[in-house]
């Protein structure tokens, strides 16, 4: 049975905002001049509201079902609470790297947050061939700060255990388990791809080493509680704003409704995966300079993550036993994990249910090779990660594969 509560509409939104006087300085509910629904269509309602002074606010409401499908796929709106709580916790560690939250309405599952419409979704920017310099560094800093703060190192044991209990998110974790770690490796109903990529999808299914590693990664995803992850940190969950020189002056991670306590490598790997997917698009389109820019992003993110984590390390709550040498081992392990999770995320975006616009908006003759490149690069990454975790060298190998298998109309 679905929960019932009032949904936001263009008609009731002004009155709703007026009923929250605590945000009167953020937006004038009496002079709304612009109102649009921008939800990406998958899960939630998202409204951007502007007043006549040009000030704005975003209202995000969880529906009791998957929006894309409707009430036939019920889903707890409690994910809004999880996103709200995670964003509040993450903002303590990295205020400048998440949207500001104004309030949370637990009765109607509405989060009121900062209007970032002067920012761009990073995926959109990457698809357009734009370069925002420093965004990957900012996201590396974000990951380091929020994961350190919510690890046993930053939070201490008791807060960590209590955080785990509060943040369990079985419903959304199940989506990740199925769509990322399971279905792409079987002939599942929700999988899809171009007929020309059937051979590539079958190669994935027949790759025995990949299958074993995916099993290990899935098990780690389900049984490791290292930190409170974002949980779905792709380039579509990042907003960027740059100055005229292309320097990123504001970078924000949002949409953390898949948040849960999981392995630290997972968020890093999610970013890597989306960089490699963007690389496949740039390669398909013959954008060499853009591909050069993208190829540097994984290492830029990792370096920023590592640097910031190292900076925070001396502030860990309990230094006893958790030695500097342990940090070195953990960093090594997290990098291996990240590459593995990246591979899982790459495969799911090509073969599994949820695609990316990077690849899907390519013409089919280019898409075939781009999809093939992403899959083969993922297979390479999984094999290489145990012997070579040098990100620049690994990225070059992956880029080479992506170039080799690219297709075009000429073919």
Residue closer to its own copies, measured from CB, 38 or 174: 174
Strand, coil or helix: 388: coil
The CB-side HSE value for 79 (13 A sphere, CA atoms) comes to 27
Given 18, 23, 48, 164, the residue binding its own copies (CB under 8 A) = 164
The CA–CA distances, whole Å, from 23 to 29, 59, 338 equal: 9, 12, 40
- In the complex, the smallest distance separating the C-beta of residue 161 from its own copies, rounded to whole angstroms, is 4
CB nearer its own copies, residue 102 or residue 221? 221
Question: Is residue 386 near its own copies by the rule CB under 8 A?
Answer: no
Contact 86, 258 (CB under 8 A): no
161 binds its own copies (CB under 8 A): yes
Is 252 within 8 Å of 266 (Cβ atoms)? no
Is residue 322 a contact residue for its own copies (CB under 8 A)?
A: yes
Q: How far apart are CA 202 and CA 187, in angstroms?
A: 9
Size of the residue set binding its own copies (CB under 8 A): 40
**Nearest distance, CB of residue 202 and its own copies, angstroms:** 17
Under DSSP, the state recorded for 40 is -
Give the pair of three-digit tokens for residue 76. 């707890």
Query: Is residue 148 within the footprint of its own copies (CB under 8 A)?
Result: no
CB closer to its own copies out of 91 and 333 = 333
Considering only residues 213 to 242 of the shown chain, the ones binding its own copies according to CB under 8 A are: 214-216, 218-219, 222-226
Which one-letter DSSP state was computed for residue 29?
G
Could you tell me whether strands 120-121 and 238-242 are parallel, antiparallel, or unpaired per DSSP bridges? antiparallel
Half-sphere exposure of 352 (CA within 13 A, CB side): 21
Place of tokens 């201490």: 156
Taking residues 282 to 321 in sequence order and writing x for each that binds its own copies by CB under 8 A, - otherwise, the string is: ------------------------------------x-xx
Per DSSP, the residues of 364-376 read HHHHHHHHHHHHH
What would the x/- binding string for its own copies be over residues 166 to 185, using CB under 8 A?
x-xxx--xx--x---xx--x
143 contacts its own copies (rule: CB under 8 A): no
User: Among residue numbers 89 through 118, which ones bind its own copies (CB under 8 A)?
Assistant: none
Q: Which residues bind its own copies (CB under 8 A)?
A: 152, 157-158, 160-162, 164-166, 168-170, 173-174, 177, 181-182, 185-186, 211-212, 214-216, 218-219, 222-226, 318, 320-323, 325-326, 329-330
């Amino acid at each position: 049975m679905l929960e019932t509560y009032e949904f936001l509409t263009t008609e009731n939104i002004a009155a709703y905002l007026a009923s929250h006087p605590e945000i009167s300085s953020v937006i004038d509910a009496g002079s709304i001049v612009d109102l649009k629904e921008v939800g990406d269509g998958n899960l939630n309602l998202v409204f951007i509201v502007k007043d006549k002074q040009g000030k704005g606010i975003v209202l995000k409401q969880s529906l009791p079902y998957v929006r894309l499908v409707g009430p036939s796929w019920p889903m707890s709106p409690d994910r809004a609470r999880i996103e709200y709580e995670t964003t509040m916790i993450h903002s303590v560690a990295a205020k400048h790297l998440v949207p500001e939250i104004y309030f949370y309405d637990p009765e109607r599952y509405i989060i009121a947050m900062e209007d970032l419409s002067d920012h761009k979704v990073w995926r959109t920017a990457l698809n357009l061939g734009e370069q925002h310099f420093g965004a990957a560094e900012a996201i590396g800093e974000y990951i380091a700060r929020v994961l350190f703060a919510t690890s046993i190192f930053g939070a201490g044991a008791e807060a960590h255990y209590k955080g785990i209990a509060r943040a369990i998110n079985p419903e959304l974790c199940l989506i990740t388990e199925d769509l990322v770690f399971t279905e792409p490796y079987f002939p599942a109903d929700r999988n899809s791809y171009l007929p020309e990529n059937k051979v590539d999808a079958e190669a994935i299914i027949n790759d025995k080493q990949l299958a074993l590693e995916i099993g290990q990664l899935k098990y780690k995803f389900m049984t490791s509680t290292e930190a409170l992850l974002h949980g779905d940190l792709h380039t579509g969950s990042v907003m960027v704003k740059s100055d005229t020189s292309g320097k990123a002056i504001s970078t924000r991670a949002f949409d953390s409704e898949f948040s849960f306590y999981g392995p630290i490598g997972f968020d890093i790997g999610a970013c890597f995966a989306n960089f490699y997917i963007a690389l496949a698009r740039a390669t398909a389109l013959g954008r060499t300079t853009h591909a050069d820019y993208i190829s540097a992003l994984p290492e830029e993110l990792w370096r920023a993550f590592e640097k910031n984590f190292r900076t925070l390390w001396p502030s860990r709550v309990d230094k006893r036993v958790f030695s500097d040498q342990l940090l070195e081992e953990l960093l090594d392990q997290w990098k291996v994990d990240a590459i593995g999770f990246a591979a899982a995320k790459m495969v799911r975006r090509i073969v599994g249910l949820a695609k990316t616009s990077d690849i899907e908006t390519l013409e089919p003759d280019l898409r075939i090779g781009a999809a093939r490149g992403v899959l083969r690069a993922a297979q390479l990454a999984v094999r290489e990660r145990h012997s070579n975790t040098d990100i620049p060298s690994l990225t070059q190998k992956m880029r080479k594969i992506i170039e080799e298998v690219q297709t075009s109309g000429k073919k």
